[in-house]
Amino acid sequence: MMTIKLDGKKLAEKVKTRLIQRIADLKSKGIKPKLVVILVGGDEASKIYVRNKHRTAQKLGIETQDIRLQRTVKESELLTLIKTLNADDSVHGILVQLPLPEQIDAKGVINAIKPEKDVDGFNPQNVGSLFLNDPHSLPCTPAGILQFFEEYHLPVCGKHVVIVGRSNIVGRPMAAIMLNHDATVTITHSKTKNLRKLTRQADILIVAIGKAEFITGEDIKPGAIVIDVGMNRNENGKLVGDVEHSSVNERASYLTPVPGGVGPMTIAMLMEQTVNFAERSADFDGKNVFNS
């Protein structure tokens, strides 16, 4: 079987290209989309991710402000900062990079971000709207995954989607998105019995479990569409996904590579979400891909 690569780099560039005109339209009306990213502490992986966001925003002409706080910052100080950004009309998107230090209640911080500036889509109001099939903001990784299905014209309606992983960042919102597109959804996790029996039934398998090369070719149905969300280092230090690609390539019809698959789309969707919010704040009748 010839497995087709779902090229996240290429698709991300396409997404960013279509944003350029929308950003230009906003600027012609005196509105400059602005994203603020808050990074607490010095986690190296988070620093790299924030740097990539910053570079992408600059290339597109989205104003971006990175605020770096000491790991010892008090929760009250972080909440005060968010309150100030909520009230700043020049700021269209607010993102607090996770994870946060243990002295800070991440849930309280996420709840403090105004839903209309919550570019990560984690605020309970946005999560609730997603599960009611009236999404106002989507978490960026699931939004990026959805774009693969639209770009490659892959049918979701009526398909059996199996999701490995139940995180609030990927698994749970991904399940809601697939349900909203008329799929039959099974969520699996660390307590699931007969996990591999379920993965072999999937027409579409989305793996976001954080374990290097956990899913192999024997674990998938021939012809399945496989989305690998994982980013891990194996014992040799090589960057790999949650899927063992050499064996899965022999059975899957479509597969996202690692790197170059889901990762670039996550950042592209962050940019698009910021533009969406800027348009809404201006009552600008631009295209909103999440509600189209």
Tell me if residue 21 is catalytic: no
Rounded CA-CA distance 292/289 in Å is: 5
Q: Does residue 185 sit in helix, strand or coil?
A: strand
Rounded CA-CA distance 143/19 in Å is: 15
Q: Known binder of ligand: residue 237? A: no
Tell me if residue 34 is catalytic: no
Tell me if residue 25 is catalytic: no
Residue 210: left (phi > 0), alpha (psi -120 to 50), or beta? left
- Among the listed residues 7, 34, 97, 242, the single catalytic one is 97
Q: Are 158 and 149 in contact (CB under 8 A)?
A: no
Q: Known binder of ligand: residue 22? A: no
- Among the listed residues 120, 203, 228, 242, the single catalytic one is 120
CA–CA–CA angle 265, 51, 36 (5° rounding) = 85
Q: Known binder of ligand: residue 166? A: yes
Q: Are 120 and 140 in contact (CB under 8 A)?
A: yes
- Among the listed residues 53, 117, 159, 221, the single catalytic one is 53
Annotated binding site: 165-167
Annotated binding site for NADP(+): 165-167
Which residues are catalytically annotated? 53, 97, 120
